[in-house]
Amino acid sequence: MKIAALAGGIGAARFLVGLRAAVPEAEVTVIGNTGDDISLHGLRVCPDLDTVMYTLGGGISAARGWGREDETFAVQDELAAYGVGPAWFGLGDRDLATHLVRTEMLAAGYALSAVTAALCERWKPGVTLLPMSDDRVETHVVLAGDDRRAIHFQEWWLRLHAGSPAESIIPVGAEDAKPAPGVLEAIAAADVVLFPPSNPVVSIGTILAVPGIADAVRTGGAPVVGVSPIIGGAPVRGMADACLTAIGVETTAAAVAAHYGARAAGGLLDGWLVDTADADTAAAAPGGVTVVARPLFMTDVTATAAIARAALELAGV
Ligand code: GDP
Ligand code: CA
């Protein structure tokens, strides 16, 4: 079985661990969000790609959900002693090695997709991990208010904890970006396309903003099933509600399904997996989307594998 999955960071990575456990023989291609990418101290940092790579490769910090296990922050502390920030973006010493390798390879002329493949040779995530694009896309947030200042998504998310309302969220560069090699091919060849429980705006939404990707999902032969990141009217973790508010979508499983839309009506979804707390979503979901309710808390690999199995069942594969 061939599976293509769009992926943000923590939510997607955890889901993918369960998916790999549920169908170890499947060929999984992960199309990762790079809109969260940022350059810091001259280094190119790709937080979502690294979260997926470290999590599937067994190197993630289980407690934090991002960055490396057994991490120290000596370099960041030394930078702070020079008065050099930002303090709000955690860059661990082990993690820095990844960014050094990436930056050096990019400077030597390798595309991000080639760099990601090289990094994955070490981590062996058991999936093919592709960036959504080799072109630079960086999500920015236009703050509501008089000055309508635009700041990098990471500054809004990490420094402001998405507490300052966003007037709009813009994947800068997306409209001119091309899907990375293999992305459209993986969607076209897939037996099923999955949207893991990732942020619908700044993870899945950013990937879909790369011209060609949404069309490939919409018009491909494979059924498309999403897993709701919203349970009982709130994100399980993080501030997806602030992102949804910015695009005028209610923070409910039904509203997110309506936002993606039914493939039968020119949208993206055939199936939508919601938590048992949201079983009433079926009535509110758009026509043409089959809604199934299952426990959706990814508490451990067993529970997460059951979620993945339910998503595949819903897809009929
Ligand atoms: P990020 O890039 O690290 O923010 O990660 P993603 O975009 O991949 O996923 C973030 C989303 O995962 C959030 O909106 C959470 O609500 C969702 N999430 C986290 N844990 C769980 C869980 O256990 N179950 C479900 N259904 N969603 C979850
Ligand atoms: Ca992210």
Q: Does residue 147 have a pLDDT over 90?
A: no
Residue 281: per-residue pLDDT: 84
198, 275, 307: residue to mutate for ligand 1 pocket, most atoms within 8 A of CB:
198
Extract the tokens encoding 89: 């973006």
When pLDDT is cut at 50, 70 and 90, the band that residue 267 belongs to is very high
Average pLDDT over residues 71-99: 97
Average pLDDT over residues 281-301: 92
Summarised one tens digit per residue, pLDDT across range 188-226 is: 999 999 999 999 999 999 999 999 999 999 999 999 999
Q: Work out the number of other CB atoms within 10 angstroms of the CB of residue 128.
A: 16
When pLDDT is cut at 50, 70 and 90, the band that residue 116 belongs to is very high
What is the CB-side half-sphere exposure of residue 10 using CA atoms within 13 A? Answer: 17
- The answer to whether residue 71 is domain-embedded is yes
Determine if the peptide bond prior to 86 is cis (ω within 30°). yes
Does this model's pTM top 0.85?
yes
Supply the range of the domain harboring residue 225. 2-135+175-315
Summarised one tens digit per residue, pLDDT across range 148-175 is: 899 999 999 999 999 999 999 999 999 9
Residue 286: per-residue pLDDT: 87
When pLDDT is cut at 50, 70 and 90, the band that residue 236 belongs to is very high
- The answer to whether residue 162 is domain-embedded is no
CA 283 to ligand 2 centroid distance, Å: 30
46, 199, 276, 302: residue to mutate for ligand 1 pocket, most atoms within 8 A of CB:
199
Measured from the Cα of 199, ligand 1's closest atom is 7
- The answer to whether residue 151 is domain-embedded is no
Q: DSSP string covering the chain, please? A: -EEEEEE-SHHHHHHHHHHHHH-TTSEEEEEE--TT-EEETTEEE-HHHHHHHHHHHT-B-TTTSSSBTT---HHHHHHHHTT---TTS---HHHHHHHHHHHHHHHTT--HHHHHHHHHHHH--SSEEEESBSS--EEEEEESSSS--EEEHHIIIIISTT-SPEEEEEEETGGG--BPTTHHHHHHH-SEEEE-S--TTTTHHHHHTSTTHHHHHHHSSS-EEEE-SEETTEESSS-HHHHHHHTT--SSHHHHHHHH-BGGGTSSBSEEEE-GGGTTHHHHSPTT-EEEE------SHHHHHHHHHHHHHHHT-
- The answer to whether residue 143 is domain-embedded is no
Q: Does residue 54 have a pLDDT over 80?
A: yes
The pLDDT > 90 percentage for the chain reads 96
Residues whose beta carbon lies within 6 Å of some atom of ligand 1? 8-12, 48, 51, 197-199, 203, 227-229, 231, 235-238, 240, 296-298
When pLDDT is cut at 50, 70 and 90, the band that residue 79 belongs to is very high
- The answer to whether residue 78 is domain-embedded is yes
Residue 241: per-residue pLDDT: 98
- Choose between 283 and 246: higher pLDDT: 246
Rg of the chain's alpha carbons, rounded to an integer? Answer: 19
Residue 282: per-residue pLDDT: 77
Q: Does residue 261 have a pLDDT over 90?
A: yes
Q: Does residue 316 have a pLDDT over 90?
A: yes
CA 229 to ligand 1 centroid distance, Å: 5
When pLDDT is cut at 50, 70 and 90, the band that residue 16 belongs to is very high
Q: What is the CATH number of the domain that holds 240?
A: 3.40.50.10680
- The answer to whether residue 169 is domain-embedded is no
- The answer to whether residue 159 is domain-embedded is no
- The answer to whether residue 249 is domain-embedded is yes
Contact 208, 175 (CB under 8 A): no
Minimum CA distance residue for ligand 1 atom 11: 198
Contact 315, 192 (CB under 8 A): yes
Report how many domains make up the chain: 1
Q: Using alpha carbons, select from 35, 14, 30, 49 the residue that is nearest to residue 187.
A: 30
Q: Using alpha carbons, select from 161, 139, 165, 141 the residue that is nearest to residue 151.
A: 141
The pLDDT > 70 percentage for the chain reads 100
Summarised one tens digit per residue, pLDDT across range 270-287 is: 999 999 999 988 788 888
Contact 40, 91 (CB under 8 A): yes
Q: Work out the number of other CB atoms within 10 angstroms of the CB of residue 189.
A: 15
Average pLDDT over residues 100-124: 98
Query: Which ligand number lies closest to the CA of residue 200?
Result: 1
Residue 283: per-residue pLDDT: 80
Q: Work out the number of other CB atoms within 10 angstroms of the CB of residue 266.
A: 10
Query: Which ligand number lies closest to the CA of residue 5?
Result: 1
